[in-house]
Each structure stands twice: as structure tokens, then as C-alpha cells.
């Protein structure tokens, strides 16, 4: 009997952890889609027109791969060349969007 209860508790913990991870991911994804995708593309590769006009590199570019998550968050906050600072995001939303962007390669 105790064994059954214990395995149910373990299961409940695993399920809630899994859904917390899911939520975190969907948060970053939603922010990315709303605030970044128009320039960076849905899969992290900008459309050829945007890439040429604004100088956006694909996420797979070695220069982008070199950046840390903190450096990317700083770009989102402060802007860089033709990328204006992205307004209206909390630090957490920036972090989540950057994490999502970094996962797209």
C-alpha cells in the first residue's frame, strides 16, 4: 500500500515538472513568435529579403553561435545596428525568447 502511494507521489512530481518545462518553453516560443519572428524567421533563419536589407544572420551562423545567452539578451534590450531594442518585454520574457531562439538551429 505505501509503495503504491509513493509511486503515485513520484508520478505526480514528474508530471508537474514536465508541465513546468513545457510552459517555460511555450512562453519563450510565444514571445519569439510575437516579437522576433518577423525579422529572424520562424525557424531562426530570416527571409532572404530581410537578411539582405537589414543584415540579419541565421541562428546557425558561427558569429551568432559564439554569443552567450546574456550577450543576446543585451542585444534585445539595447539593440544593435538595425535591430532596435525590443520594447515591452520583461527580463524573464527576454530570457525565454533568447532561449527559444538559441534552440532553433
Q: How many CA atoms lie within 13 A of 40 on its CB side?
A: 25
Instruction: Determine if residue 23 is left, alpha or beta; phi over 0 gives left, psi from -120 to 50 gives alpha, anything else beta.
Output: alpha
**Mask of contacts with ligand HEC, 24-63, x by CB under 6 A?**
-----------xx-xxx-------------xxxx------
* Binding segment (CB under 6 A) for ligand HEC, from list 6-14, 20-28, 68-76: 68-76
How many chain residues interact with ligand HEC (CB under 6 A)?
A: 22
Round to whole Å and give the CA distance between 20 and 13. Answer: 11
Residue 69 CB, shortest distance to ligand HEC, in Å, is 9
Distance between CA atoms of residues 13 and 76, nearest Å = 35
Q: Does 99 bind ligand HEC (CB under 6 A)?
A: no
User: 45 or 98, CB closer to ligand HEC?
Assistant: 98
Q: Can you tell me which residue has the cell 540579419?
A: 56
End-to-end CA distance of the chain: 48
- Name which position in 2, 4, 81, 90 contacts ligand HEC (CB under 6 A): 81
Residue written as grid cell 510575437: 34
Q: Which residues bind ligand HEC (CB under 6 A)?
A: 35-36, 38-40, 54-57, 64, 67, 72, 75-76, 80-83, 86, 97-98, 101
Amino acid at each position: 500500500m505505501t509503495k503504491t502511494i509513493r509511486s503515485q507521489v513520484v508520478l505526480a512530481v514528474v508530471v508537474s515538472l514536465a508541465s513546468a518545462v513545457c510552459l517555460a518553453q511555450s512562453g519563450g516560443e510565444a514571445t519569439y513568435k510575437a516579437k522576433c519572428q518577423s525579422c529572424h524567421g520562424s525557424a531562426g533563419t530570416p527571409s532572404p529579403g530581410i537578411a539582405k536589407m537589414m543584415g540579419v544572420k541565421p541562428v546557425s551562423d558561427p558569429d551568432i553561435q559564439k554569443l552567450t545567452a546574456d550577450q543576446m539578451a543585451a542585444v534585445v534590450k539595447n539593440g544593435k545596428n538595425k535591430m532596435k531594442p525590443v520594447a515591452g518585454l520583461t527580463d524573464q520574457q527576454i530570457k525565454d525568447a533568447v532561449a527559444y531562439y538559441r534552440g532553433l538551429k
